Amino acid sequence: MKNRILVVAAHPDDETLGCGGTLLKHKANDDKIHWLICTTLNKSQNYYQNREKEINKVSNFFNFDSVHNLRFETTKMDQYNMIEIIEKISKVISKVKPNIIYLPFKEDVHTDHKKIFEASYSCTKSFRYPFIKKIYMMETLSETEFAPSTKKDSFIPNTFVDISKYIDKKIQIMKIYKSEIGKYPFPRSVRSIKALASFRGSTSGCGYAESFMLLKEIL
């Protein structure tokens, strides 16, 4: 049976940074991949139209089977009622019926990431969503590595995906987000992205890898 994948991105670009190579690998294996974008820029912001074009272009590059945009205002997730967020995410999960979900890391420093993780994880209870069999947390450059360096708060990966065949395309897709990528030592730089993938690859015996924390697996 082919997999149905849902990546929950607090912001556009989280899907590429966190699991872009893995999504490309899923697609190459004929899995269905779906993208849930939780926030968007305010329409009054100058970059709004450009961001919408970037999202469309990224969607085409990945060849997503569906894209869902909740359009909460970015950087302001803490102002929204949790029940409202859960209801909107739940509708998408119930429609897509993914068996594998990728979520933000629960201790990412960005408030949007924390809120989206909490709301999304509330939508994974087995008695309500029995089709969900695996839940992963992603490693997102510029957010995950700045979590407090304590055992409780640190990202400790236990799952690695070889993306050696897909690292170049991941970089190509990331470059679409012109305002989100910068020059090294900026975390979201080509050099930083490849360095992290190389490090995770050396940990798991391959050229380049993405790493995850497996939260739940039902066999």
Reported as a single tens digit per residue, the pLDDT across 120-168 is 999 999 999 999 999 999 999 999 998 877 878 899 999 999 999 999 9
Domains parsed from the chain with CATH numbers: 4-217 (3.40.50.10320)
What is residue 40's predicted lDDT score, i.e. its pLDDT? 93
pTM, entire model: 0.96
Give the separation between CA 185 and CA 191, rounded to whole angstroms: 8
Q: What percent of the chain has pLDDT over 90?
A: 92
Q: Where are the alpha helices (DSSP H) in 43-189?
A: 48-62, 82-96, 111-121, 167-174
